[in-house]
Amino acid sequence: MTTLDWIVLVITLLAIVTYGLYKSRTTRNLDGYFLSNRSMSWGLVLLSIIGTQASAVTFISAPGQAYTDGMRFVQYYFGLPLAMIVICMFFVPIFSRLKVYTAYQYLENRFDGKTRMLIAFYFLLQRGLSTGISVFAPSIILSSLLGWNIYWTNIFMGGLLIIYTMSGGAKAVAYTQQLQLIIIFIGMFLSAYMIVHMLPDGIGFTDALHVSGKLNKINVITTGFKNNGFDWSDQYNLFSGIIGGFFLALSYFGADQSQVGRYLTAKSMTESRVGLLMNGLVKVPMQFAILLIGAMLLTFYQFNKAPVFFNEVQVAKIEKSALSDSFHLARREYENITAKKKEAVSSFVQSLHADADVSAKTAEMKQLQQQSDSIRKKVKSWITSKEVGGDGNDTNYIFLRFVLDYLPAGLVGLLIAIIFLASWGSIAAAINSLASCSMIDFHRKLSKKEVDHEREYKLSKRYTLGWGVFCVIVAMFTYNIGNSLIEAVNVLGSLFYGPILGVFIVAFFFKKIKNANAVFWAAVFAELTVLLVFIIAQRRLGFLWLNPIGVSAVIFFSVLFNSLFKKQIQKINPA
């Protein structure tokens, strides 16, 4: 990084922390600290919802995902708008009527205290761990790319935001997210512009789309059906996206306090609803645009030298191993193919412009891409082999490697700042929600002592600090998950979201189920079922399916236990 990049990075980060502190003045009670006195407009709610969901990996990994697997990842978000509708219809009015601080408070009204605490515990467990991983994920990428010390990067990634999150609570979180998102969108737009701008003369945006499309990266819609029927292990397709994505989004936005806490800050139910519905409108096009950057990047690398493997730390490992000679040979072969690709793609575009038949040129391009893909596959297998023992997934590094290698000074600093800002947006909201859940669902409930507003406010700040430190510590110990950081966060969420959402669905739609013990044990058994399915099915089942399985298990066990407990009571107390 150049001096200019460092200046841009430091100024951007300091500006956010200062702005967060400036906006942190709030009333010294729980309403002010956790819900911004319920004063936010729908625009702020919307940006806060987006800023909470979009972590650093959203902006770093998504282009890499499109580069390697195509744009089909966008289907993961197809269920989201439908979930927004259900939340506006059923969740928002109830939370609003009861004036809750956390979603789990409602469960005590509907069932009992232990069901509320069990579900709050599921939330704390999965959100606490996944936030720790969310601190580690961008840190490891930055430390690998820039040679920064991982411990210091973790502390900067998770530590600086604690200052304004602890000081200003939900209000500081929402206002900083607003500024963070503006900077993020400017940075992403500039990098997308630069990719197209740096394509050779005569190659336009549409040509780049044709090239990327012929190389199977414009696969926005896929059905998941193969020759022998539907592929249940396929992670992203139209059906898993709509069904699995719907349940995932419903759990995340309806029953995860990190999101519920955002729209509870709205000044009215209307503002909450509009914020959520606007999120349903913008999320899919936004993800599409981010993925499109990756598809464009693939075309860019048809004309420019691409590394055979994008994570240089792993490349250094293989170079020190017994496989070094084989690796160098493979890299040379890869570079030769890149030179051929450049000619083949230029020729393809010329034919395209001349309205000539492009089938032969397309076949040549595809063949060369297959050759380079197979070399990359071979290199990845060497990196993960016993001799090297490295991380064979470089998806997270693809976009940032391009940024460092090709973007001008200043813009590199801005893009690195974006990683921090995107992380801070989601981590700050998560820490705020972990603190509110600890304070409201556990401390307030279990504490026998009466305390005043000032004391509660101070305690909430301590919980915020405590969870912030906890997440940094988890990040410090997060090793050897390596290649599957984003997936680890998603899988962790899917393991718990089904049972959490299931309890809310039983509460809302199964009015006849009134036995609190039945629902409590149903939530326990449903969690065990999800864990069992996850262990047995392993990679044969896409993780999105765990969400509907968890929901169905809670409903099934609730109905079963409710009728069994009813019969038992009838036996003990016959009419």
Q: Which spans of this chain sit near other proteins (rule: CB under 8 A)?
A: 35, 38, 74, 78, 81-82, 84-85, 88-89, 92-93, 95-97, 99, 209-210, 212-214, 216, 218-221, 238, 263-274, 277, 280-281, 284-285, 288
Q: What is the DSSP letter of 442?
A: I
Q: Which is nearer to other proteins, 352 or 473 (CB)?
A: 352
User: H helices within 23-112, ranges in order?
Assistant: 30-35, 42-53, 56-69, 80-86, 92-98, 105-110
Query: How far apart are CB 370 and other proteins at their closest, in Å?
Result: 16
Q: Which is nearer to other proteins, 143 or 433 (CB)?
A: 433
Residue 58: closest CA among 164, 185, 220: 185
Query: How far apart are CB 221 and other proteins at their closest, in Å?
Result: 5
CB 521 within 8 A of CB 118: no
Q: What is the DSSP letter of 244?
A: I
Ordered DSSP codes for 501-557: HHHHHHHHH-TT---HHHHHHHHHHHHHHHHHHHHHHGGGS-GGGHHHHHHHHHHHH
Q: Which is nearer to other proteins, 265 or 314 (CB)?
A: 265
CB 94 within 8 A of CB 106: yes
- Kind and range of the H or E run holding 229: strand 229-230
Query: How far apart are CB 38 and other proteins at their closest, in Å?
Result: 5
CB 181 within 8 A of CB 51: yes
Q: Is the dihedral of CA 97, 98, 100, 105 positive or negative?
A: negative
CB 547 within 8 A of CB 244: yes
Quote the CA–CA distance of 547 and 498 in Å, as a whole number. Answer: 4
Query: How far apart are CB 214 and other proteins at their closest, in Å?
Result: 7
Quote the CA–CA distance of 163 and 20 in Å, as a whole number. Answer: 9
Query: How far apart are CB 57 and other proteins at their closest, in Å?
Result: 23
Q: Which is nearer to other proteins, 226 or 539 (CB)?
A: 226
Quote the CA–CA distance of 58 and 288 in Å, as a whole number. Answer: 12
Q: Which is nearer to other proteins, 43 or 202 (CB)?
A: 43
Residue 230, SS3? Answer: strand
Query: How far apart are CB 480 and other proteins at their closest, in Å?
Result: 37
Quote the CA–CA distance of 124 and 390 in Å, as a whole number. Answer: 32
Q: Which is nearer to other proteins, 314 or 362 (CB)?
A: 362
Q: Which is nearer to other proteins, 263 or 309 (CB)?
A: 263
Q: Which is nearer to other proteins, 220 or 375 (CB)?
A: 220
Based on its alpha-carbon atoms, the radius of gyration of the chain, rounded to whole angstroms, reads 25
Query: How far apart are CB 264 and other proteins at their closest, in Å?
Result: 5
Q: Which is nearer to other proteins, 95 or 545 (CB)?
A: 95
Query: How far apart are CB 85 and other proteins at their closest, in Å?
Result: 5
Q: Which is nearer to other proteins, 267 or 453 (CB)?
A: 267
Helix H, strand E, coil C: the string for 299-362 is: HHHHHCCCCCCCCHHHHHHHHCCCCHHHHHHHHHHHHHHHHHHHHHHHHHHHHHHCCCCCHHHH
**Length of the chain counted residue by residue:** 575
Residue 387, SS3? Answer: coil
- Kind and range of the H or E run holding 207: helix 205-214
Q: Which is nearer to other proteins, 96 or 563 (CB)?
A: 96
User: Amino acid letter at 408?
Assistant: P
Q: Burial, 44: exposed, middle or buried (Cβ in 10 Å; 0-12, 13-18, 19+)? A: buried
The encoded tokens of residue 183 equal: 């900077």
Q: Which is nearer to other proteins, 246 or 463 (CB)?
A: 246
CA distances from 61 to 188, 400, 419 (A): 13, 9, 11
Query: How far apart are CB 171 and other proteins at their closest, in Å?
Result: 15
Query: How far apart are CB 48 and other proteins at their closest, in Å?
Result: 13
Query: How far apart are CB 276 and other proteins at their closest, in Å?
Result: 10
Query: How far apart are CB 251 and other proteins at their closest, in Å?
Result: 19
The encoded tokens of residue 179 equal: 């500024």
Q: Hey, which residues does 229 pair with through a beta bridge?
A: 226
Q: Which is nearer to other proteins, 74 or 315 (CB)?
A: 74
Query: How far apart are CB 204 and other proteins at their closest, in Å?
Result: 13
